[in-house]
Structure 1
Amino acid sequence: MKIQYKSRNLEISDAMKEYFSKKMAKLERLVNDEDGEVEVRFSKLRQLYTVEVTLKMRSIIVRAEEKTKDFYASVDSAINNLERRLKRFKDRFRTLKREKAGEEATISAEAEGSEKEKIVKVKKFELRPMSVEEAMMQLDLLDHEFFMFRNVEDDQVNVLYRRKDGNYGLIVPR
């Protein structure tokens, strides 16, 4: 697995890289993809260390982010978060595979730790063509976390979302 390191406001030492790769080695048993890529971003803002880990495999992308006052605690939390998400994905994948094969899944809610997630609401609405600025205004008016719209410039469906830092992000299909 290829690991790519990036940093902002922080010098990455060899000890930091070695610590991260040692922690990442325990995830390799969950990841069967030799061609997988890991992108790690280390940053420091004031007294908080942020570790963002993005694992890109053939079929999925898994991301974890942690902020703490200790660099090593941030790495540990991010890796644990990534491991938990990968295990959940593998469990769901196995369950879906069993159901497709005609077998019934016999995993109890107690053994799983939580109830199976399900879609509880479906909302349909018309995608009106609008500019990104109009979508930003609409997002603020609705006070939602994201807003889907048809972009006037390229006539494609875009998703505008509010980031944790208060700015906006735009998801555009290729």
Structure 2
Amino acid sequence: MQINLTGHHVEITNSLREYVNTKFSKLERHFDQINNVYVVLTIEKSNQIAESTVHLKGTEVHATADNHDMYASIDALIDKLDRQILKHKGKTTHH
């Protein structure tokens, strides 16, 4: 899995990059056919927004989460993506 991390009005530190890598590695335990992941971290006024597009085999999954803390928004983003990936996996194995 290749993770492309981009910051918009925020500097991507090593600790933030490491946190994103460890969180997104948890998605591979449910579905191992993840090709690319594009993550954009943005700060707008008091909101800190994390959005991601995950390219799976055959489809794409997109989610956005915002919070006052960047780490909390990344956690919410991972939860949303995890649910969507499990739903996609259920559809592919069921059919």
Count matched residues.
95
Correspondence 1:25-174 to 2 at 5 A = 25-33=25-33, 36-96=35-95
Alpha-carbon distance between aligned partners in 2 of 1:57 and 1:67, rounded to the nearest angstrom: 23
Return the structure number with greater helix share: 2
Alpha-carbon distance between aligned partners in 1 of 2:43 and 2:19, rounded to the nearest angstrom: 17
Runs of 5+ unmatched residues, structure 1: 97-174
- Where 1:26 maps in the other structure, the secondary structure is helix
| Root mean square deviation, CA, Å | 1.1
For 2:66, give the aligned amino acid. K
Alpha-carbon distance between aligned partners in 2 of 1:58 and 1:83, rounded to the nearest angstrom: 15
Instruction: Provide TM-score, normalisation by structure 2.
Output: 0.93
Alpha-carbon contact 2:31-2:86 (below 8 Å) kept: no
Q: Is 1:21 the equivalent of 2:21?
A: yes
Return the structure number with greater strand share: 2
For 2:37, give the aligned amino acid. V
Structure 1 runs, 4 residues or longer, greater than 4 Å off = none
Runs of 5+ unmatched residues, structure 2: none
Alpha-carbon distance between aligned partners in 1 of 2:32 and 2:22, rounded to the nearest angstrom: 18
Is the radius of gyration larger for structure 1 or structure 2? 1
Alpha-carbon distance between aligned partners in 2 of 1:16 and 1:90, rounded to the nearest angstrom: 29
Identity within the alignment, % = 27
